[in-house]
Every structure is written in C-alpha cells, then in structure tokens.
Structure 1
Amino acid sequence: MKSSRLFSTRNGQALLCVFRNFSISTSRHREKHYKLVVVGGGAGGCGVAAKFTGKLGTGNVAIIEPSLYHYYQPLWTLVGGGIYGMNKSMRPMDSVIPKDVDWIRARATAFDPDDSTVMCSNGELIKYDYMVVAMGIQVDLHKIKGLLEALETDPAVTTNYASAYVAKSFPAIKDIRGGNVLFTYPTTPVKCPGAAQKIMYLTEDYLRKSHRRNGVNVQYNTALGVIFGVPRYAESLLKIVEKRNIDVDYKMNLEEIHSDRKEAVFRKLDSDTGETKTVKYSFLHVTPPMSAPDVIKQSPLSDKSGFLDVDKYTLQHSRYQNIFGIGDCTNLPTSKTAAGVASQSGVLRRNMTAVMEGNHVAQKEYTGYTSCPLVTGYGKCIMAEFGYDGIPMETFPLDQSKERLSMYHMKKDVLPEIYWKFLVKGYWEGPGTYRKFMRLGMGHVTKPSEARV
C-alpha cells in the first residue's frame, strides 16, 4: 500500500493530508502520466507548452487549466479607458492551447513534488517527469472590507484587475461630474503594477478633454513610498502629476469601503498609532491586494511569502530540479508583466532542455527584464523597460522616459499582435536580440552579471 503527501490548509494553517492507496488508482483516482505537465494556461503556460510539444511529441505534454477563456490582461487598461471593448482582450481557451497538447480542464488542487504528482479537481492524479508552474497571481478582492459589495452595487467603484468588473470602468468615468476621484495601490505585489496609474492618467485626460476637469480632485493613494520603483521613470511621472494637478498620497493603504456613504477608509502606514483617513469619493478605482494561488501557498513549492520558490537567474525550483516556474506566481524580484513572461520563457526553454538532456542549467541568465508601457493619456505613453535593481534596459534608440505617441501605438496596436501571434504560440522570447540591433551599440544594455541583487 502506497501513501503520498499532499498539502492543504485550514484556518490559514498548513495541514498535512495523507492520501492512501494511490497505487489503486481505479478505485479512487484516474492516473495519467506525462513527460511535461504545465500548470496554468496563461501566456507563460501556453507559450512553454507550445515550445516543448514539438520536442516531446503528441500526447506527452499536458496543460492543467480550468478556465474556458484566455485573457490578454495588459489590454484591460485600454478597455477600462474606453479604447477597446472587452471582447478584444479574450479568446476561447481551446483556440490558444497548442493543438498537440492535452488540455486537462480542471484546477490543480494539490502538489506532491516528492512523488512528482499533481491532484486535480476532476479527480485525476497527474504524474510528470517535469513540471512548469505558470499559475499567475491571485486577486484577493475579499481582503478589502466592503469591496466586493461595492463592486456589485456601486456604479462608481471599479477595478481593471478582475475580468468581471473591467467593463464597469469607462461608464463610471463618463459619469464623473465632480468630487474626489480616487485610485489606489496596495501593499502586496501585483500584476502589471503600472496599470494602477495608467487608468488614472486616462481618466484625468478624458475629464480634461470633456471640459469636466474643474471641480474634480484626482488623487492617487499608494501604499508605497514612491510613485514608481524605477527612478528614471518615477522622475518623469512626478513631473506629469505636478503638471496635471494630480495629488499623490504615499503610505496610504485602502482597508475598507462604505459604498452606502461613498467613503473609502485608508490606513496611514507611517503612523505609529494605526491612524486612518476616511475620504469621500465620486469615483473609486481599486488595485486589490494580490498573492500567490492558494494551492501554491499550501504546498512544499512555496517560499515564506507563499510564491513559487525559484532561482531568480535560472527559473528552476530551489529544491526540486525537475520543476520550473514562470510568470506572476513566482518569487522573482521583478515586476509581474507579460513582457517579463516573454523573456523568462526563453530562459526556461534553454534551462529545462539542458536538464532534460542531463546537463546543468546556466548559473546566470535571466536579468529580471520586464516592461511596463505607462499610458499617460490618449496618445501618450512612457515605455518603461528595466531589469533587476531597476536598471533600465531600453530597446529603442531614443529616450523612453518621455511621453511618446509612437510608444502609445506600440502598446495599443503592436503588443497585442505580438502576444496573440507569437508569445502564446511559443515564438516570442522578448526583445533582447532586437534591443542590441536597434540601439546599434548606443546606450547601456544590462548584462546578467550587472543585474545581480
């Protein structure tokens, strides 16, 4: 009789659950075996599966993913700003998953890395030789008291970070007639951190062009101590908010919403007494707290913060050599963006191939490259590109810290095409090669050794 250890939680405490008789799979579980299992059908998961299905063959690669639709989430800022409809950002999942990959339409409910198995919500036990965890990040709407109720009942409260509410944003923006227009940023890591500000700049620009800016107080309430983590781009953003009369309050964390009174309660993080501040709102865009998916938090795969514990240069798990991670679910110390996923995918491809062939992974390869196209208005964008330690890694032979129409069209028109036609199909591994060519030796290009923390 064989036993296998799977991990779950109750009341926030990890409990070890022992599932017996795994060997008698016909009585309790249906067992399948794959050379490679990819957990998550987002950009990273689909791209990696596409890369390896040709190498490993039909029927040897599986994706575990419960969703029926795949979203290009970087477009949600433009959906919220009224530039695109929601349908532009979504496609059926079966049109995105590579055709020779087995799609297991279920949630991963537990990991047993010592036995190289994943338990799924449909009762299947999936065995793997290698696994890539690409589950994205969990949006914790419930952690702000009153937020879920406000999103359901108050037309003036919205978020571009959850598919169910993105379409609320532009109608709410069009209804603004005065008062406090609030935008928030939490204490936790978030996906596409610049999106918290992008919708603010679009809203302010819309109000100005609609001749309704007077009498409106636009305010950015961030739990951070800076407007943006990379000084080169923070300097430009500070000039923009000053020029456009946008108030920025630092060390302010949204904790509660009273939608019946249209009040937002913020905790002052620099207060020794736990002081709070209550602000009336006429519009409120919330960037919710986020965390690693619960199934990762509750497993041996996580670090102390709950995120997938991988080497920041190789993307290989710190303790299990046949496991790799990619994207927002990992503890990589860089901004969580689709651009980061693209560059990580090339590193993962090379390193996991090396392991499969019995070789060692590279000791230093992923530089932390990520990109955040900071849309600052209709027709304006700062193309922020940087790596570990906030070192700029700009692709184009121009000053990308300035607002440009060309970068706006890159964000609006070019990047979605790259995503659908290349990234999710496994062809796009970031702009590294293009950066070297386009800059023609001009400017500084970060090397892996220079990106060390």
Structure 2
Amino acid sequence: MQKTETAQRDFDVVVVGGGSAGIGVTASLLRRRPGLRIAVIEPSDNHYYQPAWTLVGGGAFDVAKTVRPTQAVMPARATWLRAAVAGFEPESDTVRLADGRAVSYRQLIVCPGLRLAWDKVEGLSDTLGKHGVSSNYRYDLAPYTWELVRGFQGGQALFTQPAMPIKCAGAPQKAMYLACDHWLRTGVLGRAQVQFDLAGAALFGVPTFVPPLMRYVERYGIALNFNSTLVAVDGPARKAWFDVKNAEGQVSRVEKDFDMLHAVPPQLPHDFVRNSPLADAAGWCEVDPATLRHPRYANVFGLGDTISASNAKTAAAARKQIVAVAENLIACLDGYAMPVKYDGYGSCPLTVERGRIVLAEFGYGGKLLPTFPLDPTVPRKSAWFLKATLLPWIYWNGMLKGREWLARPLGN
C-alpha cells in the first residue's frame, strides 16, 4: 500500500496531478529507479479513463468501467498527498498546498491537466444534465448523452466545439457521428436537423483527415457552422446563443432553438499554473517541445494537457511524453544530457460510426505518425476494437503501471 503523507517532507520528485500523465510518469520513474522518493499531489478520490466517455455517450461502453479509486491506481512506492495546489515557488524548489503546507523537491513534474470552464458559457452549468443539454466531457453526463440520443425522435440537434486548445480535439465531433449513426440505423436521422457549431475555421487540424470526415458529414446531412462559438444557453427555453464571426471579422449574436444540445466547454489552464512563474504568456506550463523541460527552471518538467507544446492534448500524447520525461529527468538527476526527444505524437481515434474508426495519429506540424502500416484515412473495424477493447486494458494494466508498450518516441 502507498503511504499517505500528512506532514511537510522533502522528495526527490514531486508530481503535481494524479491523472493519466501523473500516475503514468510516476510508475515509469519507479520502474527505472525504485528508490526515488516521489510524492503525487492529487485532491481527487477517483481516477477516470476519460477517452471512453465518447463511447459511453454513444451507448457503446459502460461508464462504471471508466472509474477507479485513486488509491487503487497510485503506485505502491509513491506518497500520495491528497491536497490541492495553491502555487509554485520554483526559485526555492517549493510547491504550496491549499491547506498551507509547503512541499520541497529536487525535481518537479507539472501535469495537473486543464480546467473545463463551464462557467464561461452563460447558463450552461445550470442546465447540464437536464433540458436536453449534455456533454461527454464529464463522467456523470456521458450516460445522459446516450439517454438523449436514444430518446431523440427528431428536431434540432446542436453539437458545439470551443476554441482550441482543448483536450481530445476530435471528441466534440465524435459525439455527433455516433449520435447520427444511431439515428441513421433507427430511422430517425431523416427527421433530424444536425448542426456542428465550431469556433475554428476547419473541421480538423490535420488536413489529411478532413476528406474522410467530410464524407461522414455529408452522409449524415450535418450542417457545419465555422467560426461559431457557444456563449449562452437557456435550458428550460431550449435556446442557445452563438457568437459568429464573418469573413471580415465582424461578430454577430445568433439565437438557435434545440431539442438536444451536446456542449463542450472552453478549456483553460488551472489558475495555479496560469498565475505562476512557470506559465507562458497564454497561461500554460512552459516547456521545451522536444525535451519537455521548462526553459527557465532546469529541474522542472511538464507533460499532459497543461503544457505549452503544440501537440494534441490526448492520453495517447501523454503516453509518449511519459517516456521523454522519465528518461530526461533521471538523466538530469545524474548529470547527463537528456537522451529523449518527444516528436509531438498524439492520437485521435475518430469514431465516425459505431464499429468503425478513422485512427488519426500525428505529431508536430501535422506530420503523420501511424503506428500500423495501413492507410490511416480509412475507417476500420480493427481501429474500433483497438479503441473500445485494447486501449482501456492497456491503460489500466500498462500505462498506469509504467509499462511503456509502443510508447517510445520515434527517432530515439
């Protein structure tokens, strides 16, 4: 059993965040060097496998299988500090906790994820989980998405996507495709008016994958509304408002009625990161995109959704970042050059229909980085099996236990 720390203590490594990145990197470090004194700072009692929530919202996965107690996934030799972070003092190698304690370190790893800013959309928090408004970005709401999809008998279905960066940039449209596929199979799609309002100007950030996605957009009869940002919701009235930017950059407020709304909130750095010396101008934890080390504090690394690197914010990205941070951090402890460079790898299994997935894998600059020697633009049953069956098992039994199967960045 792992220890639970109750008093101030120094550690070789302090890991801020007990999500996918934090637990994974802690396990990987302890596999490399079991004697390291590592503390993981994480306030939540539960740990979630978030990539499956899209499948939950599509009726293809049991939500109960996406959560385990944090204590059950915490590496046995790590110390779990069950507390929230208040701030960083990197000049003195200290993390300040919300309960007043201070924790000092030799090396710091920053990976607390990001903040789902539901509050940035007026009225959204008050209506989530009722009045036809849901989101696969929350454990308790993904089952409601499926309830809405299953009960939908026609009308206006709105799906939204906020400005980048967000975690799993494909998730907003994956929810839409699975809903439309269900409606197509049940004869409801012909009575549906489906709209995708996205704040950006492109359907997907890597151009290679736009044509196969557009074929499904056309198949389902989806209306795409680019440069359209959800700003307010009135659940009881079934109305949503969007700020829409035209070609000249002028913004107008557009009101839409809905029978179902799948809303994705704006996503921001946590305030304790944004307001710290570790942040870049946008508020993310600043890192060198290749080594994942902070450019100003040589004993600070970052990974996961909180970092400034331009990679896709996905669990698959964290899986490869873990190797770079674990190897490079130990090299720094030992006084050697950092041996591993992260290539920006991220993966987005695009669930275009139930049973088939376009497996988008790419790195910095949109470079394709496929794991398998297959055309990545073709929707495949094998990719669905990977997403729905293999990857959850690999996550719980591999990634969180420091097993780095297929995780080393290419070229290292």
- The normalised TM-score by structure 1 is 0.86
**Cα deviation per residue 1:289-328 (whole Å; 9 max; x = unaligned)?**
0011111011101001110000000000111000100110
Matched, 1:64 2:41: yes
* Rounded Cα–Cα distance in structure 2 between residues aligned with 1:188 and 1:233: 18
Report whether the alignment pairs 1:305 with 2:279: no
What is the CA distance between 1:336 and its match in structure 2? 0.3
**Which stretch has the larger CA shift, 46-55 or 300-309?**
46-55
Q: Which runs of 5+ in 1 are unaligned?
A: 1-28, 434-445, 449-453
- 3-state SS in 2 of match to 1:344: helix
1:416 lines up with 2:399 in the alignment:
no
Residues 108, 83 of structure 1: CA spacing in aligned structure 2 closer, same or farther, 3 A cutoff?
Answer: same
Verify the 8 A CA contact 2:238 2:257 in the aligned structure 1.
yes
Instruction: Report the Cα distance in structure 1 between the residues aligned to 2:280 and 2:43, rounded to whole angstroms.
Output: 25
Gaps of 5+ in 2: 1-5
User: Structure 1 residues 406, 57: CA separation in 2 closer, same or farther (over 3 Å shift)?
Assistant: closer
**Corresponding residue for 1:179?**
155
8 Å CA contact 1:37–1:132 kept in 2: the answer is yes
The residue aligned with 1:129 is 106
Counterpart for residue 384 of structure 1: 360
| Deviation per residue, 1:51-109 (Å, 9 max, x gap) | 22355545711100011111010000011111122111111111101011000001111
Alpha-carbon distance in structure 2 between the residues aligned to 1:122 and 1:356: 29
| CA–CA distance in structure 1, aligned partners of residues 408 and 271 of structure 2 | 34
Is 1:157 equivalent to 2:145 in the alignment? no
- Partners of 1:58 and 1:94 in 2: CA distance: 20
Quick one: which amino acid aligns to residue 58 of structure 2? G
Which whole-Å CA distance do the structure 2 matches of 1:432 and 1:232 have between them?
24
CA distance in 1 between counterparts of 2:99 and 2:74 reads 19
Relative distance call for 1:188 and 1:337 in structure 2 (3 A) is same
How many Å apart are 1:274 and its aligned residue?
2.2
Is contact 1:183–1:284 with CA below 8 Å preserved after alignment? yes
Could you tell me how far apart the structure 2 residues matched to 1:387 and 1:207 are?
34
Matches within 5 A, 1:395-410: 395-410=371-386
Question: With CA pairs under 8 Å and 6+ residues apart, which has the higher RCO, 1 or 2?
Answer: 2
- Report the secondary structure of 1:332's partner residue: coil
8 Å CA contact 1:343–1:429 kept in 2: the answer is no
1:112 pairs with one of 89, 96, 99: 89
SS of alignment partner, residue 207 of structure 1: helix
Q: Identify the residue that residue 340 of structure 1 maps to in structure 2.
A: 317
CA positional deviation for 1:360: 2.4
What do the CA deviations read for 1:193-221 (whole angstroms, capped 9, x no partner)? 11111110110011111111121011111
2:379 alignment partner, SS class:
coil
Corresponding residue for residue 261 of structure 2: 284
Give the C-alpha shift of residue 430 in structure 1. Answer: 4.0
Give the letter for the 2:42 counterpart.
E
CA deviation map 1:2-50 (0-9, x unaligned): xxxxxxxxxxxxxxxxxxxxxxxxxxx9521101111100111111111
Q: Distance in 2 between matches of 1:148 and 1:393?
A: 38
Question: Would the alpha carbon gap of residues 382 and 272 (structure 1) be closer, same or farther in structure 2, given more than 3 Å must change?
Answer: closer
Distance 1:400 1:274 in 2: 37
Q: Is 1:254 paired with 2:267?
A: no
**Which amino acid letter does the alignment assign opposite residue 81 of structure 2?**
I
1:334-366 deviations in Å (ceiling 9; x for gaps): 11001100111111112111101112224x711
Deviation at 1:432, TM superposition (A): 5.2
Letter of the 1:340 counterpart:
A
Instruction: Output the CA distance in 1 between the equivalents of 2:117 and 2:273.
Output: 15
Q: Distance in 1 between matches of 2:324 and 2:123?
A: 42
Kept in 2: contact 1:192–1:336 (CA 8 A): yes
| Identity percentage of aligned residues | 34
On the 8 A contact 1:30/1:123 being kept in 2, the answer is no
Q: Quick one: which amino acid aligns to residue 69 of structure 1?
A: N
Matched ranges for 1:141-290 at <5 A: 141-154=118-131, 156-270=132-246, 272-290=249-267
Decide which of 305, 309, 314 is 1:328's aligned counterpart: 305
Residue correspondences, number: 406
Corresponding residue number in structure 2 for 1:46: 23
Q: Is the 8 A contact 1:339 1:430 kept in 2?
A: no
CA distance in structure 2 between the aligned counterparts of 1:55 and 1:410, rounded to whole angstroms: 28
Q: CA deviation at 1:244?
A: 2.2
| 4+ aligned runs moved over 3 Å, structure 1 | 54-59, 429-433
Q: Check conservation: 1:130, 1:322, Cα contact below 8 A.
A: yes
Bigger CA radius of gyration: 1
Tell me, yes or no, if structure 1 residue 394 matches structure 2 residue 382: no
Cα deviation, 1:387-434, whole Å, max 9, x if unaligned, reads: 00101111112112111111111110011111111111111264558x
Secondary structure in 2 matching 1:308: coil
* SS of match in other structure, 2:92: coil
Contact 2:242 2:255 in 1 (8 A): yes
Say which of 63, 67, 79 aligns to 1:90. Answer: 67
In 2, distance between residues paired with 1:303 and 1:272? 27
Would the aligned equivalents of 2:305 and 2:314 in 1 still touch at CA under 8 Å?
yes
